[in-house]
Amino acid sequence: MSGEAGRLGPPIATTPVYAGTIVNLRRSDYRRPDGTVVTREVMDHPGAVVVVPVEGDHVLLVRQPREAVEEYTLELPAGKLDHPGEDPLECARRELAEEAGRAAADWRDLGGFYTAPAILTEFMHCFLATGLTPVSGAVADEDEAIEVVAWPLADLAAAIDEVRDAKTLIGLLRLERELRPPG
């Protein structure tokens, strides 16, 4: 199933559980086409972007602390849409500047994906950014501690093996596909 053929109807009943600054949690009942009613706990999220920045013969990654998993992770620059209806490309431009200190002359949409569709509504837009130049004055969010890591494209397979973050794996695999010679 794909596209509209794969769409389900809206919930028939919803109970809010928690309202946060990034996600809201709700319990919702859904009626499937066969009449079965199922209850799901769902986190609503405004959506996000992930940027695959290529600078010369390197892809720029960021290493940052992720307290939820108690690790420093190696990731592509990314961030959430600040408000409903925000243009994902504008969000990508902002996140590239804030996290990697770069602006891009060229942008290419690499498609999008759900991050965890069993429990989370977050849809992530993936962009390839090239023609990078340094940006002065761009500042990461005050609670972010980010180190930019330039990873050689010639060793992209090693980055794919090292990364444990799903959005980064998807972005790097899509980059690998872009770099493959045609045919």
11 touches 29 (CB < 8 A):
yes
Catalytic residue among 41, 71, 90, 144: 144
Contacts with 11 (C-beta within 8 Å, 6 or more apart), sequence order: 28, 29, 30
144 is catalytic: yes
Looking at 85-155, list the stretches that DSSP marks H as alpha helix, in order from N- to C-terminal side: 88-100
- Collapsing DSSP states into helix, strand and coil, what is residue 114? strand
Amino acid at 157: A
Residues with a known catalytic role: 144
